[in-house]
Amino acid sequence: MTPTPESTLERANVESKAPRKHSGTREAWTTLIGAFLLQFCVVGPVMSFGVFQDFYSTEFLKSQSASNISWIGGLQLFLYLGCGTLGGKLYDSGYCRETLICGSLLFVFNFFMLSITEPGHYYQVFLCQGLGMGIGAAMVYVPTFTVVSAHFKSQRALAMGILSASSPLGTIIFTILLNQMIYHGPGFAWAIRTGAFLVLGCFVASQFLITILEPAPSSPGLQPDGELIKSITGLPYLLTLLAGFTAQLGTLFPTFYLQIFAQTHGFSKPLTFYTPVIMNVATILGRIIPNFAADRWGTVEVYIVCLAANGIVGFGMLGAGKTAGLICFSVFFGFFFGSSISLYLPVVSVLVPREAQMGRIMGIALFPVGISSLIGPPIAGRILGSEMAWWKAIVLSSVVLLTSSVILTIARIVHVRHTILAVSMTAP
């Protein structure tokens, strides 16, 4: 089969973006394991916010509205995604190890501080969980992706998909841990301390596993800032950022509100607790299988299909009033949600023509995702309101996801046209 212009350029990009110094296979895989542990213990507590949303709304901060409480989780997401440029810049400047250590310490310190916050004191929770843990996560998130990307010249999408799978695995572990210890164990304070000790252990182990490679040099004839501007002003790249913004806006509603949805629809307490776990088990598969397919059939093409499928499945939440419907929705939405997240940065790496400044480029790409993470959950909370108008939020979430697939389709068309033009200009 004749390769498409896009797939040809994608392979050329992968080959041309090889770092100046490569690690051996063993160091590459141990680095992936170390980065996996970091993502597991940073993103896991952040993406388990559905547990906190439920507990805060019903007990710990019950004087606050659902929208106000969701600002805590939204700020966490905004900081670790939207401020990823900070971690990316430090990585490009040669401070990857220092950044990972400082971010890890800040995250675990504020996680422990969350355990001594007092019921009804919204500002204490906001400062520890929203601000402190969010900044710590921001310093860890982008450098872990970038250091793994630097180690893998081939199978990059698969490696980043495996790394991305650490997030739902962490979400599963922390969701079960927090639910069981808060409601059936020693309570909120010791549930948080137990989670913080687990995070601390993963942080220590990861530092012995990760090998840092030198960032690639800037291309000849271009100053670093000029190279960065050239990389991020291409129309396909900008459209991809817009697609990432809209996709995140659509996916956050089910992940934040599914546990409350199950509770308000009269499902049993065990099923209510484990519905997010079911979703995240499916998300693990969704972060690996589509990425494996992306290395064979094209990252952008697979991403478009997954975004569209995620939007279509989102409407299924309207019919999730029975046990079978809720479980089926959790499985299918979780799978395509995982693929929508894990393929985003590989798509960005395909559309950027060179490896230098990759840390900042990925950080910039996550900024619009962070913005939607900040505003998405409170908007959903407002739409739900006190009367819990679920259908409005479900329809909005699904339509926004379908819109993101349309935007990325346009980006692909523009990308292919640019590729054909570049090939025709270089042809003898």
Domain CATH code at residue 32: 1.20.1250.20
> Is residue 366 one of the residues assigned to a domain?
yes
> Is residue 110 one of the residues assigned to a domain?
yes
Q: Is the pLDDT of residue 407 over 50?
A: yes
- Considering 148-152, 340-344, 398-402, 421-425, the range whose residues carry the highest mean pLDDT is 398-402
Q: Look at residue 289 in the predicted model and tell me its pLDDT.
A: 85
Report in angstroms the alpha-carbon separations of 152 from 11, 186, 280, 341. 13, 44, 26, 20
Give per-residue pLDDT as tens, 291-306: 778 777 878 888 899 8
Residue range 54-79: mean pLDDT, rounded: 82
> Is residue 191 one of the residues assigned to a domain?
yes
> Is residue 9 one of the residues assigned to a domain?
no
Residue range 255-278: mean pLDDT, rounded: 81
Q: Look at residue 227 in the predicted model and tell me its pLDDT.
A: 55
> Is residue 350 one of the residues assigned to a domain?
yes
Give per-residue pLDDT as tens, 316-366: 888 888 888 889 998 999 898 888 877 887 788 777 655 556 667 777 787
Report in angstroms the alpha-carbon separations of 197 from 43, 115, 177, 200. 15, 12, 12, 5
Residue range 104-120: mean pLDDT, rounded: 91
Neighbours of 62 (CB within 10 A): 12
Instruction: Report how many domains make up the chain.
Output: 1
Q: Look at residue 426 in the predicted model and tell me its pLDDT.
A: 58
Q: Look at residue 416 in the predicted model and tell me its pLDDT.
A: 73
> Is residue 71 one of the residues assigned to a domain?
yes
**What domain range is 318 assigned to?**
22-214+222-426
Residue range 167-189: mean pLDDT, rounded: 86
Q: Is the pLDDT of residue 41 over 80?
A: yes
Neighbours of 186 (CB within 10 A): 11
Q: Look at residue 192 in the predicted model and tell me its pLDDT.
A: 92
Q: Look at residue 367 in the predicted model and tell me its pLDDT.
A: 81
> Is residue 116 one of the residues assigned to a domain?
yes
Q: Look at residue 168 in the predicted model and tell me its pLDDT.
A: 78
Neighbours of 421 (CB within 10 A): 11
Q: Is the pLDDT of residue 20 over 90?
A: no
Share of the chain above pLDDT 70, in %: 83
| Contact status, residue 201 vs residue 320, Cβ threshold 8 Å | no
> Is residue 153 one of the residues assigned to a domain?
yes
